[in-house]
Structure formats: C-alpha cells, structure tokens
Amino acid sequence: MCGIISVLSFKNKISEDLISALERLEYRGYDSAGIAYVDESSKLERIRSVGRVQNLKDIVENLNIGSNLGIGHTRWATHGKATERNAHPHICNGVAIVHNGIIENYQALKKDLLNKGDEFESETDSEAIAKLIAYNINRGNGFVEAFKESIAQLVGTFAIVAIYEKEPNVLLGAKIGSPMVVGLSSDKNSFYIASDAAALASLAEDVSYLEEGDLVAATKTDKLTYEILDSNRKKVLRNVISNATSINDVSKNGYETFMLKEIFEEAIVARRVYDNFSYNINDLKFDGVSIIACGTSYYAGLLAKYWIEEIAKIHVDVEIASEFRYRNPVLSRNLLYIFISQSGETIDTLYAMRLVKEFGSQTVALVNVEGSSLAREADFVIKTVAGTEVGVASTKAFIAQTLSLLLLFADKKNIDISQIESSINFVLNNHYKFAHEAEKIKDSKSLFYIGRGVNYPIALEGALKIKELSYTSAEGYPSGEIKHGPIAIIDENVYTVSIAPFDKNFEKTISNTQEILARNGKILLITTEKAKAYLNELLGDKNLDCLFLPDANSICQPFCIITAIHLLAYYTSKFKGHDVDKPRNLAKSVTVE
C-alpha cells in the first residue's frame, strides 16, 4: 500500500533520490504521489499529482530543485478519494508529513483542531498529524518535542515521517504497526527513512528495521547522526543488516513487465529454495498444524494441506487471517501455527500471529521479505528466498511458499527438484502457447477454474490471478462441486479452465469437464502428455482447446501447472491492455485491515 521515502543529506539534489525511491515503491500499489522539501531559502515546497509517479517526475524534472531535506509518498486511498488534495505530503505552518497506516482517533483530533481554529483541506486522516505537530510547535515546543507529543496523541497504526522548514537539519520518523526502515548512504552523506528496504536499493547498502513504538531522529551538523528511541523513549540500537534488495531485483532486466520476469524466474526460484532449505521442525512438539494467511499465500497453505496430510499424516487446518482474527478461534498449544506472507506485512496475518503468540502457542512465519514484521515477531522464521517480488500479483513467491512447505514436512531427498525445474522450464519455453490460449479466453464474460485434489487450490489461484489482472469475474471450484450449483451459470459465453493432469483424479475431472461441455460451456483443458492417449476415448471427437504439460510424479506435478496458470493470467491481462504489474485498486503490501 502507501510508500514512504525521506532524506536528509549533504548533497542538494535529493529530489533525484526521492523520485527514484518512489519509482521503486510503485510496486506496493498507489494512486497518487507527492514530495515536499525545504528549499535553499529554507522554504517548504510541495508537489503532488494523481496517477503514476511519472507524472510527478515530469514536474520535478523541470524545476531544478536544490534541497538537502525532503519527504516523498505514494498514496493508496483509504480516507478520501485519489485526488491531489488528498495526496501526501500534508503540510501546516511549515511542517510536512507523510503517513502510512490509519489514525483511528483522527475524527476526535480533527474536531479538536477545528475548534482551535484550524481548517482542513483534505478528507484524509493524515492531515490531522501535520496540524497536530504544527499546533504543538505553536505551543512553544521545539520540533522534536512537538513531534513526540503529537505521536503520543495518536491512536492507530502508522509510519510517519516529518520535516519542519524552521529546522532544516532534522528529519523525524515514528512507527507503530506499519514498517519503517532507516539507512545511511555508503559515503555517510545521506540518511534515509523509508517504508521498505526496496525504496533504498542503490541508496543504502545497510539498513535497520525499527521496532514497534520506535522514534528516529536524524540531525545534520558537521556530520550526519541519528538516534533511535524505543517506545519508552530510551535510546536503543537496532540491528544493522545488509539491504537484501539489490537494484537488480527492482529492475525488469529486459522483460516487458516485472510479472513476466518473475514468472520466468519460477524454475530458478524452485532450485534456490531447494538448495537453501535447511530448516527442520523436529524439535518442535505438535500434533496438528494450523496455517493462516491471505490471498495467494492462503492458497499456498491450502495446497500444502494436501501434501502434509498425505506425506506426514498430520492434520492441517488452513484459514483466512481476517476471519481467524475475528471469530474467537479456539487455540491450542498442541498446534503448530504457520503464518504465510510474501510481504511479511499483511496486517491481518500479523495480528492473527499476535493473537496466537499471546495465547502462548508456537508461531512459524513463512515470509519472503527479510526484516518484515512477521519475520521479526515469529518464534521461528522460514525465508522463502524468492527474491524481491515487484509485480503486484504474487507469482514466484507462490512457488517458493509451496515448495518450502513441502520441504518442511517431506524428506528432502524424496523431492525430485530436477523434475520440478525441467517441467517449469518446459512451460516457460512454450510460453507462446499460453499466449495463444489467453487470446481465446480474454473476452469471456466469466471464467471457472476447476480441479481436484492439489489442483483445487491451484484452480483457486488461477481464478484469483484472472480476477486481479483481467478484472473478469472468475471462480475456482473443486471439480466435483460444480454440479452443486455453479453449473447453472454455464453457457456458451463461459470458459472453464479444467486442470486435469494425468493423475489418480484424471478420469473424474474429465467427467466433470464433460458435464460442462454438455451444457455448451467452453473448455480449456490443462493436462499432461500421457493423457493424449485417453482423451479421444473419454471425450470423443470434441474439438477441445488443450494445453499439454510434461508429466511429473504426483508431488512434483503441481509446480509446472502453477507456472502455466500464471502465464495464462499474464497474457490474458496483457491482451486486454491492462497494466499487468499494477492492477487497478490493488496493493502489494496490505497494511490496513
């Protein structure tokens, strides 16, 4: 969701850093962007624009800005529409702030400030923060004191960065609930506060993640220094780690889009996960597993349930984090709770984990972003090593999540990684075939994805990808469930992607496919080479659209099917002319409930 960057520097071309960081934050999802800076005459200036960062960049490039202190923001609208008026930074009497998260008591604060004579220009909760700091300065406090006082008055989750034109050598930040990372440039001439390490790729080689309630104050005298205060306002040191996001991770490397690049990394990621996997949970005592996650990460959990129950004979429940949190779940100390999140910041998953930790059960976080909130708070962390995922739709992280879960419960030597790799590569090398099929399904008014067994969660993942990227209504269903209602929707305008590799469920799924064909539904069959010999016998001479994937053993088979449905979704969206990397209304990191 929203992204933050800020810089205090000895160089006076900080606008370049702000814009390049905002470009790297684009992947989080946003609908407006802005910067504020203190210029060479100590005057606070602000530029905001709706839409892409490029719009902001076009304005900034024409201005030749000289400044050592600035903040920038990409906003994903929560309170108030995506308009310039609502875009950050918000300013008041020389104070400028950017804010991620939600200020829950902003109505009360706003009322109070309105009574004191303030006027509000936006519909946002964030504007109240700038007003509050300015008000506290006006009461005779210095900037730092006013900031501290204001932060203490806020209720909610936030990452906030503030600057003040009368103190142009100070940069302040505070965080509760939303991530915040700080770092110095390697020449020690610039200090940055950002919402994630990707923003600082190429700016800071080493970074520190702030903890809950931390406040950071950077000051420029003859050198740049900063101190971090914990929630009791005691000076603390936070670990300095190397910034795991390299500039290579956040560039397209010749691919048309990040999503395509990331799908094409799926075989490499599978190999990397396998080679690096050395986690074991043998020392942990549990007699059941509860997996909690959202979206694609939730589907990774559903897929793993089939494997874990089959291989390890352990009962597994899989839950959507937002539901788990609010239904008073019956918790157990005999369960191992696994929280899956690519970003490691999804607020519902994080709060679900806190609930479980408070109860005293063991928590495992399966995350892709190092230093993320889930990674920092879990008892046990498994890194999915997919590398930075920039496309908003999760692809290579899904491969990494599912394979990591498999390796956690299966014997590594029984997993044929070469077969996984080669079958994914086969799909990638034949990507044009998926493009060809995507042309056919792209105008369908709605889509079904069906599958049995492990192919059911894959069907859910396929449908989700179509929804988010093509804006077409799509549903994933267990093949056997179709005739319990959804079949009523089937007619010649509805496409069903039937996932039926040649496995123990093949004939059953084919017979469900026939039920759809009998009602004039269109079918795209995703199957495997060995099925060729049986298709005529089972389906007669019906002229079906088929995609044939390589056969693999039952454990390895899902991986190339995942790559196949990712490619299909990718091309469907591309041919509809959509922005594949930044689908409308979506955010990469969902940090509000």
Q: Which of 118, 291, 590, 591 binds ligand F6R (CB under 6 A)?
A: 590
Give, as one character, the DSSP assignment of residue 152.
H
Nearer Cβ to ligand F6R, position 24 or 131?
24
Q: Is there a contact between 171 and 177 (Cβ–Cβ < 8 Å)?
A: no
Q: Please identify which residue in 15, 341, 402, 419 interacts with ligand F6R, judged by CB under 6 A.
A: 341
Q: To 10 degrees, the CA torsion angle through 560, 566, 568, 569? A: 160
Per CB under 6 A, 297 contacts ligand F6R = yes
Say if residues 374 and 345 touch (Cβ distance below 8 Å): yes
Candidate ranges 59-67, 227-235, 336-344, 450-458; the one touching ligand F6R (CB under 6 A)? 336-344
Task: Annotate 472-501 with b (16+ C-beta within 10 A) or e (fewer).
Answer: bebbbbbbeebeeebbebbeeebbbbbbbb
Nearer to ligand F6R, 290 or 349 (CB): 349
* Closest CB to ligand F6R among residues 110, 261: 261
Q: Which is nearer to ligand F6R, 193 or 390 (CB)?
A: 390
Give the interface segment with ligand F6R, choosing from 121-129, 143-151, 207-215, 339-347 (CB under 6 A). Answer: 339-347
Among 53, 335, 393, 552, binds ligand F6R (CB under 6 A): 393
DSSP for residue 210? P
Rg (CA), the chain: 25
Sequential DSSP letters for 81-142: -S-TTTSSPEEETTEEEEEEEEETTHHHHHHHHHHTT----SS-STHHHHHHHHHHHHTT--
Q: Which two tokens stand for residue 64?
A: 């030749």
Nearest distance, CB of residue 583 and ligand F6R, angstroms: 9
Residue closest to 389 by CA, chosen among 264, 557, 217, 500:
264
Q: Token pair for residue 149?
A: 């006082």
Q: Could you tell me which residues come within 8 angstroms of residue 573 by beta carbon, excluding any fewer than 6 positions away?
A: 469, 470, 580, 583
Asked if 588 is an active-site residue, the reply is yes
Please tell me the count of residues contacting ligand F6R according to CB under 6 A.
Answer: 14
Q: Does 388 bind ligand F6R (CB under 6 A)?
A: no
Peptide bond preceding 501 in cis form (omega within 30 of 0): no
Structural contact between residues 367 and 380, judged by C-beta atoms closer than 8 angstroms? no
Contact flags string 235-274 toward ligand F6R, x per CB under 6 A? ----------------------------------------
Q: Which of 343, 361, 419, 513 binds ligand F6R (CB under 6 A)?
A: 343
- Least distance to ligand F6R, CB of residue 273, Å: 16
Shortest reach from residue 379's CB to ligand F6R, in Å: 18
Phi first, then psi, for residue 154 (nearest 5°) are -90, 140
Stretch near ligand F6R under the rule CB under 6 A, chosen from 81-89, 191-199, 337-345, 534-542: 337-345
> Quick check: 322 binds ligand F6R (CB under 6 A)?
no
CA distance 591 to 358: 21
Query: Which one among 295, 451, 457, 558 touches ligand F6R, defined by CB under 6 A?
Result: 295
Of 226 and 570, nearer to ligand F6R (C-beta) is 570
Q: Which of 464, 497, 500, 555 binds ligand F6R (CB under 6 A)?
A: 464
Report 105-134 residues binding ligand F6R (CB under 6 A). Answer: none
Q: What's the min distance (Å) between Cβ of 454 and ligand F6R?
A: 18
If binding is defined by CB under 6 A, does position 405 make contact with ligand F6R? Answer: no
Q: Min. distance of Cβ 513 from ligand F6R in angstroms?
A: 26
In terms of CB distance, is 324 or 502 closer to ligand F6R?
A: 324
349 binds ligand F6R (CB under 6 A): yes
Asked if 342 is part of the footprint of ligand F6R (rule: CB under 6 A), the reply reads: yes
Handedness of CA 40, 45, 51, 55 (dihedral sign): negative
Distance separating alpha carbons of residues 152 and 150, to the nearest angstrom: 5
Least distance to ligand F6R, CB of residue 294, Å = 4
Q: Considering the candidates 57, 396, 442, 588, report the single residue annotated as catalytic.
A: 588
Counting contacts by CB under 6 A, is residue 361 touching ligand F6R? no
394 lies in the site for ligand F6R, by CB under 6 A: yes
Query: Which residue, judged by CB position, is nearest to ligand F6R in the bound state?
Result: 295
d(CA 583, CA 509): 32
How far are the Cα atoms of 4, 11, 174, 218 from residue 7, in angstroms, in the given order?
A: 10, 10, 15, 10
Q: Angle at CA 337, nearest 5°, toward 333 and 338?
A: 165
Name the nearest CA neighbour of 43 among 97, 93, 99, 98.
93
CB of 72 to ligand F6R, least distance (A): 23
196 sits near ligand F6R (criterion: CB under 6 A):
no
Site for ligand F6R contains 346 (CB under 6 A)? yes
User: Does residue 202 sit in helix, strand or coil?
Assistant: coil
**Could you say whether residue 573 binds ligand F6R (CB under 6 A)?**
no
Residue 210 CA: distances (Å) to CA of 183, 218, 344, 452, 547: 11, 14, 15, 44, 48
Between CA 203 and CA 182 the distance in angstroms is 11
Of the candidate spans 39-47, 288-296, 471-479, 519-527, the one that interacts with ligand F6R by CB under 6 A turns out to be: 288-296
Quick one: 29 or 168, whose CB is closer to ligand F6R? 29
Nearest alpha carbon to residue 263 among 395, 171, 460, 141 = 395
Of 2, 92, 546, 556, the catalytic one is 2
Query: What is the C-alpha to C-alpha distance for residues 277 and 467, in angstroms, rounded to an integer?
Result: 33
Residue 441 CB, shortest distance to ligand F6R, in Å, is 18
Nearer to ligand F6R, 347 or 555 (CB): 347
Residues with Cβ within 8 Å of 368's Cβ and at least 6 positions away in sequence, in order, are 341, 342, 343, 344, 383, 384, 385, 386, 389, 397, 400, 401
Q: In angstroms, what is the minimal distance from the CB of 369 to ligand F6R?
A: 8
Q: Is 468 in the site for ligand F6R (CB under 6 A)?
A: yes
- Name the helix (H) or strand (E) containing 496: strand 494-499
The reply on whether position 292 binds ligand F6R by CB under 6 A is no
Question: Least Å distance between CB 569 and ligand F6R?
Answer: 9
Compare residues 210 and 366 and give the one whose CB is closer to ligand F6R.
Answer: 366
- Find residue 36's DSSP bridge partners: 46, 71
> 296, 322, 404, 423: which one contacts ligand F6R (CB under 6 A)?
296
Interface positions with ligand F6R (CB under 6 A) = 294-297, 341-343, 346, 349, 393-394, 464, 468, 590
Catalytic site residues? 2, 588
